[in-house]
Amino acid sequence: MVAKIVHKIERPPKSLIEEFRRFPTPHISDAMDRSGAMVSEVKPFFEKVKICGPAITVREMVGNNLMCHKAIYVAEAGDVIVIDARGHKDTSVWGAIMCLAAKMRGIEGVVIDGAVRDIMEIKDMRFPVFARAVAPNGSQKNWLGHINVPIQCGGVQVRTGDIIVGDDDGVVVVPLEEAENTLSKVKVVAEKDRKMVEEIKRGKTTIDLLGIDEKLKSLL
């Protein structure tokens, strides 16, 4: 196997990243027709967390984290490292020392389709890690993998430069080529929700606002 490491990638404008940072993941997923969200197992390990940045992708063999270490030094400040660890939950591919190294480089956070360890230290550090599981077993460094190639993570395809947004609800992936259009839709969703909240405070019901009774009749 020959490792593929791509150093030069296309990233979205920082202004676009900061626009997406304003919105929660449910609004973004709704704007993409209830898609783009990773499986529910991929969650953060402390509350009030938010990440938003372009994806640096990593594909590893099961039980291996050689390329994860390399990715820390391929990524730039503001990037999110996204790791395809094949969904394996019994061997961690990331830990506290790697968090410290990533934090020192200004990396936004890490998303893992697999396991992490040293969770108490990570919580104390408050470095954002989203993963399927926690496991004490460490990884080997015996097999090659790839950096900045298309991967899957949490049931979603992720390509280098895609916008990764994570918060307490989970992780959503916005394809880079769809980002501008998606942002416009997110703003519409957010405004609709804002108006609905105001109407409910004025005494309206979700039955009225969402046309629930009409929908029920149409399904009978």
Q: What phi and psi, each to the nearest 5 degrees, are found at residue 81?
A: -85, 125
Rounded to whole angstroms, how far apart are CA atoms 31 and 45? 26
Average pLDDT over residues 27-41: 97
How many residues are there in the chain?
220
Q: Is the pLDDT of residue 134 over 90?
A: yes
pLDDT of residue 220: 85
Domain 4-186 grouped into CATH 3.30.110.40: no
pLDDT of residue 3: 86
Residue 13's nearest CA partner among 176, 196, 150 is 176
Query: Does residue 165 contact residue 130 with C-beta atoms inside 8 Å?
Result: no
Q: In the block, which residue shows the tokens 């969402």?
A: 210
Q: Is the pLDDT of residue 74 over 70?
A: yes
Q: Is the pLDDT of residue 109 over 80?
A: yes
pLDDT of residue 131: 98
Q: Is the pLDDT of residue 2 over 80?
A: no
Rounded to whole angstroms, how far apart are CA atoms 210 and 199? 12
Rounded to whole angstroms, how far apart are CA atoms 166 and 81? 12
Average pLDDT over residues 70-98: 98
Rounded to whole angstroms, how far apart are CA atoms 157 and 150? 7
pLDDT, tens only, 190-203: 999 999 999 999 99
Average pLDDT over residues 139-162: 96
Residue 75's nearest CA partner among 92, 61, 56, 59 is 56
pLDDT, tens only, 164-219: 999 999 999 999 999 999 999 999 999 999 999 999 999 999 999 999 999 899 99
pTM: 0.95
pLDDT of residue 1: 64
